[in-house]
Structure 1
Amino acid sequence: MAEKAILTEELIAHGVPDIAHTLSVDIVGLALLLYGTDRQKSRLLPPIARGESVAGVLFSEPEAGSDLGALRTRAERDGDGWRLSGRKVYSAKTQLADFALCAARTTESEVPFHGITVFLVPLRPPGVAVEPLWNIGDERFNEVTLSGIRVTEEDVLGTVDDGWGVIGEILGLERTGIEFQAKARRWLDAALERTGAEGLAPAEADRLVALDADVRAARLLAWRCVDDLHAGRSDEVRSAMAKYWAGETGREVALAASGAAGLDALLAGDDEESLGHGVLEAACREAPGLTLASGTSEVMLTVIASAGLGLLA
């Protein structure tokens, strides 16, 4: 776990696009290690490890983002398998993926979190349509439509109808905050490199110093979560704290760093005079999404308040 987190930090520090790695290795790969059968592991993990296969996640839907218990994608029995039908949205890098973790409802229940199953769904066969959802960020989102694609027992991750526990664990894997704090550090360092020799107004300098402390705190919170996972345990509240702080800090860093760096921060990467190949311009477009991805800040605060502080009991 520690080596994996270090690699993620280094990829981001050097400006290497990290989303495909994060999804394939940090999330799907680890989910397979935790819940996959021996046959699933032997079939899917080696290509991921060799960089020959990319994996994605199909959870969010048009009417089910933060509230995954409201998902409408259905898996209807078909002999010894199921037929999956539904729409998934905001799925990053799916255009490159060979398969994805997909949450679908297998049984109707009065309890919204019961009757959900996580499937390992291939994304290349007929019956799967991947269309872009264009956005202002550099990373492409997609809408994925499943039109009766067939899966079998071999494609079930975990237990049928008990996928909510798997989803909860997967979301915990997403919420270490490692990648978010690493991006905040890269953005802040870019601003400090730009402004260090020229000097800043006292108010701007104080703001960057305070943000430097916030980024360091985000990293410490993230590494506590990594340590939990390394030890084979997970802490929902600690993960929520790390994700919340890293996401909110990243947004503040992008805005403050761009302001301190001046108009040059607005130049995109294809401009030869841009700052660090447009790192801060891209940050301003990406940073708001850090408070949404892997669980919104509002959801993280709800987890902290309820499970951590007992305020909503």
Structure 2
Amino acid sequence: MNLELSGDQLLLKESFERLFRTDSSPARVRAAEPAGFDQDLWQSLAEMGALTMRVPEADGGGGFSLLDAQIVAEEAGKALASAPLIEAMVSNRLLARLTAVTDNPEIRALLDRAMHKNAVITLALFDVADRPEQIIAGGSAAEVVLALDGDRILACESGRQEDFLENLADLPIARWNLTEGALLAEGEAARAEFGAALEEWKLLTAAELNGMARRTVELATAYASERIQFGKPIGTYQGIAHPLANLIMEIDGGQLLNWWAASRLADGASDAGATISMSFWWAAKTAGQAGERALHTHGGYGLSLEYDVQLYHRRTKARALLLGDPNDELLNVGRRSWLGETPALPEAGAMPLDFGFGDAAAKLSAETEAFFRDNMTPELEAKAHFSFEGHDWDFHRKLGTARLLFPSWPEEFGGRNADPYAAVCSAAVWDEHNWGRVGTGVTDMVGHMIQWFGHPETKAEVLPLLARGEATCSLGYSEPGSGSDVFAARTRAVRDGEEWVINGQKMFTSGAELASYIFLLTRTDPDAPKHKGVTMFLVPIDTPGIEIRPIYTFQDERTNTTFYADVRIPDRFRIGEVNGGTAVLGSALRLEQGGGGYVPVHDKMLELAVKWAQQTKRAGKPAIEDTSVLSRLSRIAVHGVVSDMLSRRSLWTTAEGKQDLAYGPMSKVFAVETYNQDSTDLLDLTAPDSILRRPGPPGQIERDHRRSTASTIYAGASEVLRSMIGEKALGLPRSR
């Protein structure tokens, strides 16, 4: 896996950052209003080769890849470039592509005008057969508009109805009548090339919108960090910080989705067309929300023309609307995903990014799948549950014997030395078979803490038991008076020679009735600041003085409260330094907060919903053909892909030791919040069958809905994680 731009692409990005910093500053953007076109910027873009960067080298262009163009488009969006750059990139490439379809000299002549005279050539986004008169992006500055009329491509030069249309964002648009124009090419091949150009326009516009959204949130963050109200920066208030944290999470997801779409094109993947539509819809939605939130963050000042945020507020909304209602693109997601629609697609060119997990991951995943196929019985399938309730000791031991419980562990401790990518792919197989891995995930995390911080004797005694599947662990963090604020723990551990005496109570000690050990957070120095006076222990559950009482939840899941009365354990069961529990717990939480565990769960839920929609009739036809149903399923599909992208980035960052700007918390918050939102939507969609607890897709969706509610609390409540995102990813002041 590689999610890092190449050195050449970073140089490309920096070059256009510098260009736009001078040639598309806020002052220059204002000066270009209301016409929305900066002739000097256009000249600079031409000199940089941006207008023809997607034209093949053989035709005199730059021969840049689609990803290269996406990088430039994003920088243009950040700077609100007052020029129809995206339209020029796409139109000029279309002309070059058409030279292979027909030998019409008019095509070459137009391309020469673009390359040598910097002619502004744009394209119509709708078929002239349906809309003979259209609002044209870049139309107020255009010399030529390329238009599709059925299966004919026209070059229109005389159809402009007015010099400029006053509009929301002062975009360079005008209305054109496209019924008359020179015929450039016709036939199915020509139509396919125009269709591919439109798909490229969507993807590049999505990149531009992502750039706009990012810069908009940066403006809001800077204002929230310096604006003082009630004696402190407004960014310290969660009502300000948390919506911005949500946005940067969604913007990052949008950028990854945009790159993913290009990657799928490069791979020739069957879902490439759907991912383009996903990227456009997501970018349009996120950019619009970013503009609204940033303006709100500025309060009344944001309404002033003196503040740059109003420029972004107008542009983030208006730019996407040139294609009509962005929500219509959700229907394309559905048609392309489930109804067999296959659009013409552009070529991506070179792709240095690699979203794959690698050969080792594929091999271990296949082995895990074979194990489940050979050992999963109808009885086990009936017993399966996402929580500890589905635990089966015989099956667990078989997994241990096969060294499939904790494949990332070193071989000396019963693992396979598998890389993080392989371990994640192996774990995903469990979800495909509905086999719960909450208990195994907890034990895996505790096992890592023992490996990293434990006493040699404890490692030798405990790790082999865990790896063989003969023992499991439970977590003892929360208390009656401290939930998300775990460092407010009051359970005491007092040293007595080479032993520790523990007294206190823990809440939500899930799996304690099965576990052999509890990973326990205790206070060892009551006089120290709460983050500095805690120590972690691995407490054998058969130690005298421990009492377990069940707590039953509406998820069909048992948890526990545990009591500790003069529980004595040897010092070798201490994990980490005395009063050093913060470091240990921090490492544990980073493992927990990746969010990747919910990606296959969300995918499985969507798969069930699609199956339901294909089998259920509405108005005499399959429900999936209903536009409302299709749109809702598509929205959930987009959430699933964005969640997957954020999860992969979190995994890659950890595996490769890259800078971590709260990528784990981002992945976790997005995954669980969309899981909760989407399960609720599907509960409504599949009603009334969904309120019944019975086999079949609606019944499983009902269980997902109950499960999703708790997912926003496990491993750190979303509110706590949003504060972390605001501080680390945005640089906002501390908000908790």
TM interval, shorter chain, is: over 0.9
The residue aligned with 1:12 is 431
**Amino acid in structure 2 at the alignment position of 1:46:** P
Aligned 1:214-225 pairs, distance under 5 A = 214-225=639-650
The residue aligned with 1:36 is 454
More strand by share: 1
Alpha-carbon offset, residue 50 of structure 1 = 1.4
Matched, 1:134 2:535: no
Q: What TM-score results when the alignment is normalised by the length of structure 2?
A: 0.40
Aligned 1:256-295 pairs, distance under 5 A = 256-268=681-693, 271=694, 274-276=695-697, 278-295=699-716
Deviations 1:91-138 (A, max 9, x none): 221111000210101112341101100001111222111111111013
**In 1, Cα distance between the equivalents of 2:649 and 2:728?**
18
**In 1, Cα distance between the equivalents of 2:468 and 2:657?**
25
- For the 8 Å contact 1:20–1:54, the answer to whether it is kept is yes
**Amino acid in structure 1 at the alignment position of 2:576:** G
Deviations 1:4-42 (A, max 9, x none): 2223221122111221111112x1122222222332222
Deviations 1:48-87 (A, max 9, x none): 1111111111111111111112111000122221111111
Alpha-carbon offset, residue 234 of structure 1 = 8.0
**In 1, Cα distance between the equivalents of 2:658 and 2:493?**
31
**In 2, Cα distance between the equivalents of 1:219 and 1:32?**
29
Match of 2:565 among 134, 147, 168: 147
Deviations 1:115-167 (A, max 9, x none): 10000111122211111111101332111111111122201111110111111
**In 2, Cα distance between the equivalents of 1:280 and 1:237?**
30
**Amino acid in structure 2 at the alignment position of 1:175:** Q
**In 1, Cα distance between the equivalents of 2:658 and 2:471?**
28
**In 1, Cα distance between the equivalents of 2:521 and 2:658?**
23
- For the 8 Å contact 1:214–1:249, the answer to whether it is kept is yes
The residue aligned with 2:422 is 3
The answer for unaligned runs of 5 or more in structure 2 is: 1-419, 616-621
Matched, 1:107 2:525: yes
- For the 8 Å contact 2:686–2:698, the answer to whether it is kept is no
More relative contact order in 1 or in 2 (CA 8 Å, sep 6+)?
1
Alpha-carbon offset, residue 236 of structure 1 = 6.2
**Amino acid in structure 1 at the alignment position of 2:430:** L
**Amino acid in structure 1 at the alignment position of 2:633:** L
CA RMSD of aligned residues (A): 1.8
**In 2, Cα distance between the equivalents of 1:258 and 1:172?**
32
The residue aligned with 1:71 is 489
Q: 1:91 is paired with a residue of what secondary structure?
A: coil
The residue aligned with 1:207 is 632
The residue aligned with 2:585 is 167
- For the 8 Å contact 2:609–2:697, the answer to whether it is kept is no
The residue aligned with 1:124 is 542
The residue aligned with 2:607 is 189
- For the 8 Å contact 2:490–2:522, the answer to whether it is kept is yes
Q: What TM-score results when the alignment is normalised by the length of structure 1?
A: 0.92
Matched, 1:253 2:678: yes
Q: 1:262 is paired with a residue of what secondary structure?
A: coil
**In 1, Cα distance between the equivalents of 2:427 and 2:478?**
24
**In 2, Cα distance between the equivalents of 1:249 and 1:33?**
34
Q: Is the deviation greater in 181-190 or in 54-63? A: 181-190
**In 2, Cα distance between the equivalents of 1:308 and 1:225?**
13
**Amino acid in structure 2 at the alignment position of 1:261:** T
Alpha-carbon offset, residue 245 of structure 1 = 0.3
Q: 2:662 is paired with a residue of what secondary structure?
A: helix
The residue aligned with 2:191 is none
Q: 1:295 is paired with a residue of what secondary structure?
A: coil
- For the 8 Å contact 1:181–1:219, the answer to whether it is kept is yes
In structure 2, relative to structure 1, the CA distance for the partners of 1:233 and 1:107 (3 Å cut) is farther
In structure 2, relative to structure 1, the CA distance for the partners of 1:110 and 1:154 (3 Å cut) is closer
**In 2, Cα distance between the equivalents of 1:233 and 1:100?**
32
Match of 1:301 among 722, 725, 732: 722
The residue aligned with 2:46 is none
Runs of 4 or more consecutive aligned structure 1 residues displaced over 3 Å after TM superposition: 231-236
The residue aligned with 1:238 is 663
Q: 1:310 is paired with a residue of what secondary structure?
A: coil
**In 1, Cα distance between the equivalents of 2:576 and 2:661?**
20
Pairs aligned (count):
308
**In 2, Cα distance between the equivalents of 1:74 and 1:232?**
36
**Amino acid in structure 2 at the alignment position of 1:296:** A
- For the 8 Å contact 1:119–1:157, the answer to whether it is kept is yes
Q: 2:582 is paired with a residue of what secondary structure?
A: helix
